[in-house]
Chain A
Amino acid sequence: MDIIIASFLEDSIVPKFNYWIYVILMMIGLYAMITKNNLIKKLIGMAIFQTAIILLYVSVGVKADANIPIISHHGEKDHVEHAQNENLDSASEGSSHHGSKKEYHVIDKNKFANPLPHVLMLTAIVVGVSTLGLALAISQKVHGSFGTLEEDEILDQLRPGGHD
């Protein structure tokens, strides 16, 4: 029994811990969005929901012994194996001969984290803050006309006058 639990821990929990937490955060956020009564609380839930998705994407791009996805030029030989001459800093070099490839490095792709998820998530964060801003504006308008941010109180106000 212990072995089963231990192997379960080793196979499913520890290497996939990020994914477990992402599911938990997503469930918390989704639950808040659906059931919370206060509009601001719903929006906090929405933000948590969106960060959970970002957590999924960023976790995908992680490599076990990789560095940040920026090629460094300060002589870190273990990250970048320099080919021959390394005068990359001077911009004029590139213009003089287009085709010559030998001034570039041989890059070990396992030394750099996967940049694509990062790019996608930059976009997702921006979309998230835009949605949040607009939703806050709408909730201020709701508060301006109903005087409250609680959903049930708003619905109570609508009931006698509303025909639907």
Chain B
Amino acid sequence: MIWQFDIIILIFLVVTAVIALRVKDLLGASMVFGIYSFLICLLWAEMGAVDVAFTEAAVGAGVSTVIMIATVFSTTRRSKD
């Protein structure tokens, strides 16, 4: 564990989480959510949880984002909030 690295990523996490929820475009929100997942994957790696980081990279940043974007493409990009 490297605590400086930890604190920086954690702050970025909160920022990306807020952005993902505030962006009005759903495609953008999904992509920011992908960034969020990638950051959290870095965080796991930093904390020594390599297997969790690997899974998060494959699932969170990979498949979740892809299926979310697939849904946005087949429904709508518009969002009121």
Binding site for B on A (CB under 8 A): 17-18, 21, 24-25, 28-29, 32, 36-38, 40-41, 43-45, 47-48, 51, 54-55, 58-59, 61-64, 66-70, 113, 117-118, 121-122, 125-126, 128-129, 132-133, 136, 139-140, 143, 148-150
Asked, given contacts A136-B71, A149-B79, whether A64 binds B36 with beta carbons under 8 Å apart, the answer is no
Count how many chain B residues have C-beta atoms less than 8 Å from C-beta atoms of the other chain.
44
Contact B21 A17 (CB under 8 A): no
Residues of the A chain whose Cβ atoms lie less than 8 Å from the Cβ of B18: 28
Contact B33 A143 (CB under 8 A): no
Residues of the A chain whose Cβ atoms lie less than 8 Å from the Cβ of B35: none
Residues of the A chain whose Cβ atoms lie less than 8 Å from the Cβ of B51: 118, 122
A163 to chain B, nearest CB (A): 27
Residues of the A chain whose Cβ atoms lie less than 8 Å from the Cβ of B64: 47, 129, 132
Contact B81 A67 (CB under 8 A): no
Contact A68 B6 (CB under 8 A): no
CA–CA, A18 and B63, complex, Å: 26
CA–CA, A122 and B67, complex, Å: 19
Interface positions of B from 6 to 65, Cβ below 8 Å from A: 6-7, 10-11, 13-14, 17-18, 20-21, 26, 29-30, 33, 36-37, 40, 43-44, 47-52, 55-56, 59-60, 63-64
Q: Pick 10 A–B contacts, CB within 8 A, sort by A.
A: A21-B14, A24-B14, A40-B79, A44-B20, A44-B30, A48-B21, A61-B47, A63-B1, A69-B48, A132-B68
Residues of the B chain whose Cβ atoms lie less than 8 Å from the Cβ of A55: 40, 43
Q: Mark B69-80, 1 if CB is under 8 A from A, else 0.
A: 011101110011
Residues of the A chain whose Cβ atoms lie less than 8 Å from the Cβ of B81: 36-38, 41
Contact of B7 (CB < 8 Å), options: A17, A59, A139 = A17
Binding site for A on B (CB under 8 A): 1, 3, 6-7, 10-11, 13-14, 17-18, 20-21, 26, 29-30, 33, 36-37, 40, 43-44, 47-52, 55-56, 59-60, 63-64, 67-68, 70-72, 74-76, 79-81
Contact of B59 (CB < 8 Å), options: A24, A48, A125, A143 = A125
